[in-house]
Structure 1
């Protein structure tokens, strides 16, 4: 359990303590853009790998709550929404993604009209679904880390982008919203049929179906998808 705790802390600190703070600029200036991204990626993927290993090694017998049948059903719905959101969000050109600022020249489209952080919201839904379906301490640590990272990561990214002086960034931040549907309800944006990425939608459903049948092999438990 100690290994899992340390890995979760390193994973959180790497993202929230470096990427979303002035330390990011300090490291980029001292190491250079390529070296910084290399070190950052190594820490991120390394700690994630240790997290997965630690989670797989610890016993899942100390339950803080026992999930109900209703919780399992809600988790399945959240998982479908999360996978569709992640896939469709990954396919849209998002200026908030790494090294994608050139997308600021494009019109806001797709899931960006719903939220400027579709992938992060998808990960948040993914983690919440698994928290509902798993009440043991290890699962709370593992998936709770992704809940914290996704939500506070969005806040951190927005805080950093609001300091940008580029008018393109200012316009993008004012037009879009972090919270889903706020920009649409306020009338700043309108979601049109052309904004639906049918390839991404179908791929999201297909991924859900594949993971549904493979879940037992991956997790060693019952299918919670």
Structure 2
């Protein structure tokens, strides 16, 4: 493994962390306007992601840091449908803003950070099932980005009355708090989101060998 991979991983993390940190984001938006800030943030994220992909492809696998347990690969197959459900629910359910969150609805009754939690589950499950240096850097970086987002969003929510009230009613840990009850959460989640999450998972199973050279279900053979 080479130093460029580690440097590109750091830049990728910073491209997400620095512009979105409380205090930095409002200052940049005040100076550049929302469209300018979003364009800069998106461009920075894409550039650093591109650098990371190039460095990842150029690096060899490196040494083996640990040997995954036999149950690690089946655990990935078990966790990934949950990750896809969280991500699909996140992009299809309105949240409002961190300064003025909407009343919790659907997936937000179950957890207030479904997108970051889905990314974190994906990263940690894959990290546990790998072991070579290159993929450890990849999944550790993604896990760090997800954890940062959870902490950052919670920090912003604490800074205003609406956010504090939202935090008091909800939980980052799934099912720890259920405003309105589990029945309301499941009813608002709906069958379409369930079908969409499972369809996305099935699609990833199909394209995973082509994209990454290995079937997620190789352990069943």
TM-score range, shorter chain: 0.7 to 0.9
**Superposed CA offset, 1:129-149 (max 9, x none):** 111221111111111011111
SS of the residue corresponding to residue 196 of structure 1 reads helix
TM-score by length of 1: 0.86
Counterpart selection for 2:173 from 179, 195, 202: 179
Q: Which runs of 5+ in 2 are unaligned?
A: none
What are the equivalent positions in structure 2 for 1:200-211 lying under 5 Å apart? 200-211=193-204
Counterpart for residue 10 of structure 1: 11
Deviation beyond 4 Å, 4+ runs, structure 1:
none
SS of the residue corresponding to residue 116 of structure 2 reads helix
Aligned residues of 1:88 and 1:197 also touching (Cα < 8 A): no
Counterpart selection for 1:128 from 124, 127, 137: 124
Aligned residues of 1:133 and 1:224 also touching (Cα < 8 A): no
Tell me, in whole angstroms, the C-alpha distance in 2 between the residues paired with 1:224 and 1:170: 43
Aligned residues of 2:73 and 2:216 also touching (Cα < 8 A): no
Tell me, in whole angstroms, the C-alpha distance in 1 between the residues paired with 2:217 and 2:128: 10
Counterpart for residue 55 of structure 2: 54
What are the equivalent positions in structure 2 for 1:79-98 lying under 5 Å apart? 79-96=80-97
My pick for the range that moved more, 208-217 or 87-96, is 87-96
The answer to whether structure 1 residue 218 and structure 2 residue 211 are counterparts is yes
Aligned residues of 2:101 and 2:166 also touching (Cα < 8 A): no
**Superposed CA offset, 1:7-44 (max 9, x none):** 21112112223312322222222222211111111111
My pick for the range that moved more, 205-214 or 189-198, is 189-198
The answer to whether structure 1 residue 194 and structure 2 residue 187 are counterparts is yes
Tell me, in whole angstroms, the C-alpha distance in 1 between the residues paired with 2:10 and 2:175: 32
**Superposed CA offset, 1:36-63 (max 9, x none):** 1111111112212222332233222521
My pick for the range that moved more, 25-34 or 114-123, is 25-34
Q: Which runs of 5+ in 1 are unaligned?
A: none
RMSD: 2.1
- The CA deviation at 1:66 is 2.0
TM-score by length of 2: 0.87
Aligned residues of 1:127 and 1:143 also touching (Cα < 8 A): yes
Counterpart for residue 157 of structure 1: 153
Tell me, in whole angstroms, the C-alpha distance in 2 between the residues paired with 1:44 and 1:4: 16
